[in-house]
Amino acid sequence: MTEKQVSLCTRLKRLGFTQGNQMKLYGEEFELLSDPIVMGDNLVLVDAMERKSGRLRRVRIPLPVVNMANGERSAA
């Protein structure tokens, strides 16, 4: 992992994307089973379990959250 990816991962953890936390993403409630997995500059995933069904999923962290953690501003 590059230094930039490690830094991004650390900032996402501070935002709550850590193993054991519960989070609502894409209208579903999840229990996070892993720390962020950086696949690319704008693609970060986390392993999670749907609270309702118990189904295991790999969920993409929303791009606006990734951009915020990267310190980038969106051109609105």
48: CATH: 2.30.30
- Quote the radius of gyration of the chain (alpha carbons, Å): 12
What's the structural domain count of the chain?
1
Residue 74 lies in a domain: no
Residue 9 lies in a domain: yes
Residue 73 lies in a domain: no
Nearest to 61 by CA among 76, 1, 21, 52: 21
Q: At what angle do helices 63-70 and 3-14 cross, to 10 degrees?
A: 110
Residue 7 lies in a domain: yes
Which domain covers residue 50, as residue numbers?
3-68
Residue by residue, pLDDT tens for the chain (76 residues) are 889 899 999 999 999 999 999 999 999 999 999 999 999 878 999 999 999 999 999 999 999 999 999 886 555 5
Strand (E) or helix (H) holding 22? strand 22-25
Task: Indicate the pTM of the whole model.
Answer: 0.85
Token duo for residue 37:
């997995």
